[in-house]
Amino acid sequence: MTTPGIDEDRLARLLERERAAWIEGRPKAAALHERARASQVHGTPHHWVRQFPPPVPLVVERAEGVRLHDTDGHVYADFGLAATAALWGHTHPAVVEALRDQLGRGTITMWPGEDHVWVTEELSRRFGLPYWQFAVSGTDANRFALVLARVATGREKILVFNRAYHGALEPTYVVLTADGVAPEPGVDMGGIDVRRTTEVVEFNDVPALERALAGGDIAAVLAEPVMTNGGAVIRPEPGFHAALRSLTREAGTLLLFDETQTIPAGPGGCVRELGLEPDLIAMGKFVAAGIPAGVYGMSEEVAAVAARYTEHGDGGLGSTLAGGALAVRAMRTVLGEVMTDKAYAHMNRLAERYAGDVAAVIERHGLPWHVGRLGARVSYAFMPEPPRNAGSLYPKPGGSLRAALWLFLANRGIVLNGMSGAALFSPLSEEADVVRHGELFAEVIAELAAV
Ligand code: PMP
């Protein structure tokens, strides 16, 4: 698919040139990738890496501060930050010190410590829900929150917004088509009937939401409060959240917000920024500074259901590894020392500068694109207006443009998110890298713009 404003011939030439330069500069990475093919599917540790733009994966020798050092001796300023898992930087001094100390005190025991209580108290204070439990990832946190919603309502079906991503959860691999709900293109559902498990509507579509909830068979709406997946920031229209809350209440459906990607909005997430009142909140990645972990919070009513559900039997929530001492110490450090108003002020300032640089280049070339920013997260979409919903991002223009931009920047020491091209800003992010990005973005667009 072509990209508005871009000269396709120049784009094809640039992409070829940057791919060749990437491979040529990375003989050790190429050799390692070849070696990995014998013991890893696709020669990558997980399939996302294969879907990222570089023809040979970026092989990281070490990550320090906001720098990635690769095995061939290149150094990059990391704006991808592991899709929020490394939102606080790779080696935040407070986290490193705390984890070094904790390693000498044990990583996991299956017993609680004072850190657990401190963390759940602080989560309640920040996010407003009174009860919290631990999980091993964002995926897990969403899964357990959905289990509780099903138990609380006695209903199986969930509702998600079109083209949302909430982790490795089969009932969410769905899209809205002219014929209704269907498996996400390219995903083999392995026999799961998504029409039974899931309802899908477009974000910001209140009438469709009302129709979908009217049947009284939806256990929970699982949603990002502001949609971030798909390389755009999609904001709720005025009144949308109020309607979502009142419609779910009327239908006896629980409202579950996934803050995994929206936490760059502020130290209490979008829930606090937008004054939202969900029944459940789930999040992962950032909460333990990259130590695998997730948390989910719930209202008094849901907590009572959880207490009943877990009274007897093995239908457990969580896993043996949930709430290990190392992960929880990381959470205490993140919440207590890292995720501060001061840190967010720095992150926001850099994000604003970055977004301004991109917007200026778009304007200079009259490109029909726009820049979206949610606090310390910035992404741009190849369409003139901010999208109302994620469905309007598909079919996606600019697949090869995203790859070309990623490679051009990475060949010059800047790494964006490999999937969406989004940039994140950490307390350790540096202004000089943002300035450098602005210069490089201007250079690459001058080469590619049709006018
Ligand atoms: N929620 C959202 C919004 C996500 O983007 C992701 C993953 N990127 C998850 C949940 C799941 O997190 P994880 O992959 O760490 O389980």
The pLDDT tens digits of the residues spanning 190-205 come to: 999 999 999 999 999 9
Using the 3D structure, point to which of 294, 321, 338 is the last residue of a domain.
Answer: 338
The rounded distance, in Å, linking the Cα atoms of 115 and 329 is 6
Is there a single domain that holds both residue 294 and residue 362? Answer: no
Whether residue 222 sits in one domain with residue 303: yes
Same domain, 322 and 367: no
Question: Is the pLDDT assigned to residue 361 strictly greater than 90?
Answer: yes
User: In degrees rounded to 5, what are phi and psi of residue 144?
Assistant: -70, -35
Contact residues of ligand 1, CB 6 A cut-off? 83, 137-139, 142, 165-167, 224, 229, 258, 260-261, 284-285
Q: Are residues 152 and 284 in the same domain?
A: yes
User: What distance in Å separates the CA atoms of residue 131 and residue 138, rounded to the nearest whole number?
Assistant: 17
CATH code of the domain containing 409: 3.90.1150.10
| 295 and 306 part of one domain | yes
pLDDT at 302 over 70: yes
Residue position matching structure tokens 């299956």 = 110
Residues 325 and 360 grouped into a single domain:
no
What is the model's pTM? 0.97
> Which domain range does residue 207 map to?
93-338
Ligand 1 center from residue 15 Cα (angstroms): 29
Task: Check whether 316 has a pLDDT greater than 90.
Answer: no
- Residue 398 has a pLDDT of 76
Q: Is the pLDDT of residue 110 over 70?
A: yes
175: in domain: yes
Q: Which of 338, 355, 370 is the last residue of a domain?
A: 338
Neighbours of 291 (CB within 10 A): 20
Alpha-carbon Rg of the chain, whole angstroms? 22
Q: Is residue 430 part of a domain?
A: yes
CA of residue 20 to ligand 1 center, whole Å: 32
**Which residue's CA is the nearest one to ligand 1's atom 14?**
167
Q: What is the share, in percent, of the chain residues with pLDDT greater than 90?
A: 92
* Mutate which of 84, 136, 137, 139 for ligand 1 pocket (most atoms within 8 A of beta carbon): 139
Query: Across residues 42-62, what is the average pLDDT?
Result: 94
Residue 3 lies in a domain: no
Q: Which of 338, 368, 393 is the last residue of a domain?
A: 338
Q: Is the pLDDT of residue 414 over 90?
A: yes
In a domain, 302, yes or no: yes
Question: Residues 6 or more apart from 219 whose CB is under 8 A from it?
Answer: 146, 149, 150, 152, 153, 155, 156, 157, 158, 253, 254
Q: Model confidence at 389, in pLDDT bands (50, 70, 90)?
A: very high
Do residues 71 and 116 share a domain?
no
pLDDT score of 270: 98
Examine the domain organization and report whether 353 and 320 are in the same domain.
no
Q: ipTM value, please give it.
A: 0.99
Among protein residues, the one whose CA lies closest to atom 11 of ligand 1: 167
Same-domain pairing of 113 and 14 = no
State pLDDT tens for residues 218-241. Answer: 999 999 999 998 789 999 999 999
- Shared domain check, 12 and 22: yes
Helical residues (DSSP H) of 58-175, grouped into ranges: 93-103, 114-127, 138-153
Residue with tokens 């443009």: 401
Report CA(81)–ligand 1 centroid distance (Å): 14
Give me ligand 1 centre to Cα 445, in Å.
31
Give the atom of ligand 1 at the shortest distance from the alpha carbon of 167: 11
Calculate the average pLDDT of the chain: 96
Q: Is the dihedral of CA 389, 198, 208, 186 positive or negative?
A: positive
- Looking at the structure, tell me whether residues 108 and 246 fall in a common domain: yes
Instruction: Compute the distance from residue 61 Cα to the ligand 1 centre, in Å.
Output: 25
- pLDDT at res. 1: 65
The three-class DSSP label of residue 133 is strand
pLDDT, residue 451, reads 72
Q: Which amino acid is at 196?
A: R
- The domain that holds 245 is classified in CATH as 3.40.640.10
Q: Are residues 161 and 143 in the same domain?
A: yes
Q: How many Å lie between the centroid of ligand 1 and the Cα of residue 328?
A: 19
Q: How many domains does the chain have?
A: 2
